[in-house]
Structure 1
Amino acid sequence: MFREISKEKAFDDILDQIIENIQNGTLKEGDALPAERSMADALGVSRPVLREVLRALELIGVIKSVQGGANYIAEDLESCLIGPLSILFRMNNSNALHAQQLRSALEQEAALLAAQNCTPLDAAELQLIIAQLDAAEDEKIRGNLDRKLHIKIGKMTGNSMIFSVMSASAQLTEMIISGIRTYIMQKDNSVSEVDEQHRRLVEAIVNHLPEQAERCMREHMDTVEKYVREIADQKRSDK
């Protein structure tokens, strides 16, 4: 799995080998890395040098360390951008609205690509989620289905970068404004409005209408942004 490296660029070479093993499937989500001593011996480096790389990967969410020293590849690599993105937003004094605006731009492109790429199986899965949303009454369940719908559309892009940053920005918005999905779904008249937006969005995607799907997603994201602004205004007035 690992080969001896040059001492001059030890950090970069160790990092490259770990990433290479993830990319080629040798290391999968949830897999344990070899013991530090074995791994250091294979790479021809000291354990402190190896730990620097492992610590860096832990900070960005690629690796999870557990008590006792075992290291594992994260089970949800799609979420590993949340930490770095959160730090970037804090450094730039960004807020939930900024995160939502980033998400909006990516979601619109995702809807366009999803409509281009939609397979019969994709269409069936999207329509099932819509049916479940129509049938569900519990707002927590509906919130999870809403999230599931957007995740599915993101994965249909076939672009892992769009999907990863989109997911990170969406989760960052929710971290900054806790319970935003529940708030939107409980707001007067917003349930039927959001449900109708979801239905039109899915209809455009399954019928391979990219521009229409993009417009539907833009309308939906504008609605979400309206409520993000509303919640932010309420928080400021409460202070």
Structure 2
Amino acid sequence: MSELFSRIDHARTADEVVRRIEDLILEGILRSGDRLPGERELASMFDVSRPILRDALKQLEARGLLVSRHGGGTRVADIIGEVFTQPVMELISGHGKATADYLEFRREIEGVAARLAAERATPDDRVLLSGILDRMRAAHERADFDEEARLDVEFHGAIGECAHNIILLHTLRSCYRLLADGVFFNRTLIYRLAGARDALLEQHLAIGDAVLAGKPASALEAARRHIDFVESAIAKAERADNWQKVSRLRLAQRSRDHRNV
């Protein structure tokens, strides 16, 4: 934590503190919901007076980057996902074409992110990514669907972080917020398809391994193949789900017919 909020070497002003915290948020180091240290501790870390720190935090709160709650400390505001406001999300969730467009966009942007990640990932990035891949394997072995779904989002977010492009990072986070919230499709439908969970794990490992090995072309292609599979699996899962609904209604109707005979 002390490395995060290190001593400010320049002029110790509120503006310098604001800039330091802005950078941490912009680079994705501080994420939505992360709690800052207490005022006394944070002032000591930055080596600034408490009035200067207080002024900086007020500026950041006024701009909607931080939120303070009585007894809950100061946290990074939930700013990710505002690329798609709630009215827009409600609008696009009801239109089938939006899902196809969403996946088309993800196919291209995730390919770029994976390529850049393979080129730019640092040793620390590789440690983080390797840990996520290990947890994905473990969750798969336990057949923990909820954990697999959560790690799916975390994995793709980590690839975006490894790309070291702040615009790309926050755009991807907005996309994954929609994914986590189930705006476009229900991922549990995909998990019900025979072999889908195995295929998804293999695809994630292929992307991760290419990034870890520093192979940009392989990472890009693996990311695109992954989205192609997701698109195909969604179509199959939705079709199978519709068949099941029709079959259930048909069976219920036949049962009523037999009772009335």
TM-score, reference length from structure 1: 0.64
| Amino acid of the structure 2 residue aligned with 1:132 | R
Checking the alignment, whether the CA contact within 8 Å between 2:84 and 2:174 is kept in structure 1 is yes
Checking the alignment, whether the CA contact within 8 Å between 1:30 and 1:75 is kept in structure 2 is no
What fraction of aligned residue pairs are identical, expressed as a percent?
20
User: CA distance change for structure 1 residues 201 and 31 in 2, over 3 Å: closer, same or farther?
Assistant: closer
RMSD over equivalenced CA pairs, Å: 4.1
Question: Which residue does the alignment assign to 1:201?
Answer: 207
| Amino acid of the structure 2 residue aligned with 1:105 | E
Task: Tell me, in whole angstroms, the C-alpha distance in 2 between the residues paired with 1:65 and 1:98.
Answer: 37
Q: How does 1:55-204 map to 2 (within 5 A)?
A: 58=64, 62-64=65-67, 74-75=76-77, 80-86=79-85, 87-88=87-88, 95-136=98-139, 137=142, 138-175=144-181, 176-177=183-184, 179-180=186-187, 182-204=188-210
Please say which of residues 124-133 and 150-159 is displaced more in the overlay: 124-133
Question: Which residue does the alignment assign to 1:221?
Answer: 227
User: CA distance change for structure 1 residues 19 and 124 in 2, over 3 Å: closer, same or farther?
Assistant: closer
Look up the SS of the partner of 2:84 in the other structure: helix
| Amino acid of the structure 2 residue aligned with 1:162 | L
Please say which of residues 158-167 and 114-123 is displaced more in the overlay: 114-123
Give the gaps of 5 or more residues in structure 2. Answer: 1-12, 40-50, 247-261
Cα deviations by residue, 1:80-127 (Å, 9 ceiling, x for unpaired)? 241341444556767333333322222111100110012333334333
Q: Report how far residue 150 of structure 1 moved.
A: 1.2
Q: Report how far residue 229 of structure 1 moved.
A: 4.0
Look up the SS of the partner of 2:191 in the other structure: helix
| Amino acid of the structure 1 residue aligned with 2:225 | E
Cα deviations by residue, 1:36-67 (Å, 9 ceiling, x for unpaired)? xx9xxx8xxxxxxx9xx94xx55xxx454758
Q: Look at both structures and tell me which one has the larger radius of gyration over its CA atoms.
A: 2
